[in-house]
Structure 1
Amino acid sequence: MRYIVIGAGAVGGTIGARLHQGGHDVLLIARGAHYEALKSDGLRLITPETTETLDIPAADGPVPARDDDVLILATKSQDTIAALADWPTDLPVVCAQNGVDNERMVLRRFSRVYGMCVWLPAQHLEPGVVAAHAYPYSGMLHVGHYPHGVDDLATRIVTDLGKRGLVARTVPDVMRWKHGKLLGNLANAVEALVGHPDGPVDGRAAVVDRARAEAMDVLDKAGIAYSTPEEEREVRGHQVDVRPIEGVDRGGGSSWQSLARASGSIEADYLNGEIVLQGRLHGVPTPVNEVLRREANRHAREKLPPASMPLETLVGLIDERCAAESR
């Protein structure tokens, strides 16, 4: 079986590297300078334990497919449709992405779709280089058939993922886990806009708490199940603990990295925007997540650097929106 990783950035690059180290046939799909670096120099994987340069085949677009190919989609959600446009629709697709809308989008064209809930703290800010910050495993991955269930392919994928540097589990309710991860990812926009909270009394943490409380109210009213932080802590344990890497400054999460790379787009429509969508469908106001969605998109569009908005400005915008919706 060949794993084709579409979007070989922080998450995709780490998954592809670990599958390659486990002895599997892997092809990395990347673009621009990152693709050129992978093609000429290989993928440099930096972890708290080692730095390795891996000679993994790479391409900058679709290649002739084989019957045993599995597509692992690790792009940002806003790039899902374009990333899959030219791939054969009879291939299985694993959505190794944040958010909960990718699987549904992909199922419109591909008949075999799998969800993957990704806990994998990594960053990609330099062509050809991925830093995976967790120890003793680089990540924990929950895999299940979409919309629910576990089949032979999901079981085989999990077995292959677990051979080197990753912990993987099959779960029949993968979207419940992904909705739980969504609640955590609502903080991405806060981090990208005003920086990472320094502690529980930090004003940024209070904004995150407001966004999550609003989201849980929406999901509860919509009848959408989600995993809890207590479940996640019990499953994760200390298998994916973030550790410092000498010589590597750890920035922020995926949305922070989008602003740092000045990519021009950000995933907020599929994170905070998912809560806004569900709120509108079920008649629940979502002013906190709407402001976070709107401002994250504006910062990406205007190519503003991460953590460039004063916290007081963000809180003021949220309070203003809350007041307007309560009138």
Structure 2
Amino acid sequence: MRYIVIGAGAVGGAIGGRLHQSGRDVVLVARGAHAAALRAGGLRLTTPEGRVTLPVPVAESPEEVAPREGDVLILSVKTQDTQAALATWAEAAGDLPLFTAQNGVANEPMALRHFRRVHGVCVWLPSQFLEAGAVVAPCGPLTGILHLGRYPEGSVEGPVEGDETLRRVSEDLQDSHFGAPVVPDVMRWKYAKLLSNLGNALEALCGPVEGEARTSLFHRARDEGVAALNAAGIPFTSSEEQAAAREGRMTYHDIPGAERGSSTWQSLRRGRSVEADWLNGEVVLLGRRFGVPTPVNEALQRHATAAAHAGRPPGSLAPEELGV
């Protein structure tokens, strides 16, 4: 089994690097300066165990990879880049299994338009990509926990029965410093992760979610998300269920020289587009469809997108400037 990791940034680089370390066949798909750095010097992966340089093969296009039967695709681009990535890879690899290792809940239905076998992944994987060729994954003893499941949901009877691909991917990930439980309701986990990601834009705009003003804004954004999901009849895992799954398995370690920030914070830091339209915007969409007010998420979506368009750095907005 060969893993083709489409989007070798923070999440994709950590997953691909760890799989490569455990002896799996991996190709990292990257672009521009990042691809050049990976080719020239390998993937510099830093974990609590230390820093290693991994000579993982790199490609920039399907033509360079030549997808074949037995390959597995791991899609780990940001949601705003999903449609372009799917269009690029569908013709050459549309019959191969695709795993969506991404935040948000919009990637799976998009992928199903192009790929016959779609598997959702709920990503618990704090990681950083701020420098070409370098990824930091600061958690241990597990680098992350990746809940896996077929999309649409409910197509797996029992934890792995009837899906050899899911079984093998789960085993490979578990042999590579990840928890990788196979679940029949992966979107229930992904919707719960969406609620926690509603603070990403707030952190990116206003700084760490601490202190009365920022903590209150996060709780208000999450409360709006819970109300929207409930109004839509969408189930999600409880905080207690998530805590039990993580307990004692993932601890954040301070890595010398590494900065700490969410994926949205990192995007602003690198001068890239942000995924607020697919995180806070998902709640806004559900709120408008089902009659739930979502003023905090609307403000976070609007301001985060504007900050990215204007090239403003993270932490450049005071909480009161959000206007909510």
Structure 2 gaps of 5+ residues are: 157-162
- CA shift for structure 1 position 251: 2.5
How far apart are the structure 2 equivalents of 1:241 and 1:6? Answer: 27
- CA shift for structure 1 position 249: 2.8
- CA shift for structure 1 position 152: 2.3
Q: Is the 8 A contact 2:87 2:114 kept in 1?
A: no
Residue deviations 1:39-97 (CA, integer Å, cap 9, x gap): 11100100112110001000112121110111100000000011122222111110000
Supply the RMSD in Å over aligned alpha carbons: 1.0
What's 2:159 paired with?
A: none
How far apart are the structure 1 equivalents of 2:226 and 2:168? Answer: 34
What's 1:186 paired with?
A: 198
What's 1:159 paired with?
A: 171
- CA shift for structure 1 position 286: 1.2
How far apart are the structure 1 equivalents of 2:48 and 2:191? Answer: 29
- CA shift for structure 1 position 228: 1.4
What's 1:68 paired with?
A: 70
1:49 partner letter = E
Which stretch shows the higher mean deviation, 295-304 or 83-92? 83-92
Q: Is the 8 A contact 2:140 2:252 kept in 1?
A: yes
- 2:298 aligns with one of 276, 290, 293: 290
What's 1:42 paired with?
A: 42
Q: Is the 8 A contact 2:205 2:315 kept in 1?
A: yes
How far apart are the structure 1 equivalents of 2:246 and 2:293? Answer: 33
- Is 2:63 the partner of 1:92? no
How far apart are the structure 2 equivalents of 1:274 and 1:136? Answer: 32
What's 1:321 paired with?
A: none
Which stretch shows the higher mean deviation, 161-170 or 96-105? 161-170
Residue deviations 1:133-177 (CA, integer Å, cap 9, x gap): 101111111000001133221121111111121111101100000
How far apart are the structure 2 equivalents of 1:34 and 1:58? Answer: 10
Which stretch shows the higher mean deviation, 207-216 or 86-95? 86-95
What's 1:136 paired with?
A: 141
Secondary structure of the equivalent of 2:33? Answer: helix
- CA shift for structure 1 position 240: 1.1
Structural mapping, 1:242-321, within 5 Å: 242-246=252-256, 248-263=257-272, 265-314=273-322, 317-318=323-324
- CA shift for structure 1 position 230: 1.0
How far apart are the structure 1 equivalents of 2:32 and 2:229? Answer: 39
Question: TM-score scaled by structure 2?
Answer: 0.94
Q: Where in structure 1 do 4 or more consecutive aligned residues deviate above 4 Å?
A: none
Which stretch shows the higher mean deviation, 64-73 or 82-91? 82-91
- CA shift for structure 1 position 22: 1.4
How far apart are the structure 2 equivalents of 1:240 and 1:251? Answer: 16
- 1:121 aligns with one of 120, 123, 126: 126
Secondary structure of the equivalent of 1:306? Answer: coil
Percent of residue pairs bearing the same amino acid type: 54
1:214 partner letter = E
Give the length in aligned residue pairs: 312
- CA shift for structure 1 position 250: 2.2
How far apart are the structure 2 equivalents of 1:72 and 1:18? Answer: 13
Secondary structure of the equivalent of 1:170? Answer: coil
